[in-house]
Amino acid sequence: MQNVVTHFPGHRTLFEEKYLEGKAEGMAEGKAEGEAEGEARGEAKGVLPVLEVRGLPLTDDVRQRIAGCTDLDRLNDWLDRSGTVERAEDLFTEQ
C-alpha cells in the first residue's frame, strides 16, 4: 500500500516549484510568439497601404499572400521594396 500525501498549495514543494516554473516559461513563450505574430501582422498592414497609395492593382492572391506572411524579414523586405516595384507581384520575385 502506498502512502498518500496531501498537497497544500503554497507549501513550495519541489513539484509545485517546477510546475509554476514551467507554467511561467510557457506563458512567456506564448506571449513572445503572440507579440511576434502581432508585429508581423503590423508589417503586413504596412505593405498593403504603400502599394495602394501608389495605385498598383492588388489581386486577392497578392493581398492574402502579404497578409498571411509571418516571416518578419520577408515582410520588411517587401515593405522596403513596395515603394519601388512596378507591379505588386514583383514583391515576390528574388532581387
- The grid cell for 7 is 498537497
Model confidence pTM above 0.95: no
The tens digit of pLDDT for each residue in 25-61 reads 655 555 555 555 555 555 556 888 899 999 999 999 9
> For the chain, percent helix, then strand, then coil, each to nearest 5?
65, 0, 35
Mean pLDDT value of segment 51-76: 91
Confidence of residue 92 (pLDDT cuts 50, 70, 90): very high
CA angle 89, 93, 95 (to 5 degrees): 130
Burial 32-57 (b: 16+ CB within 10 A, else e): eeeeeeeebeebbeebbebbeeeebe
* Neighbouring C-alpha atoms within 13 Å toward the C-beta of 85: 25
What residues does each domain of the chain span?
14-92
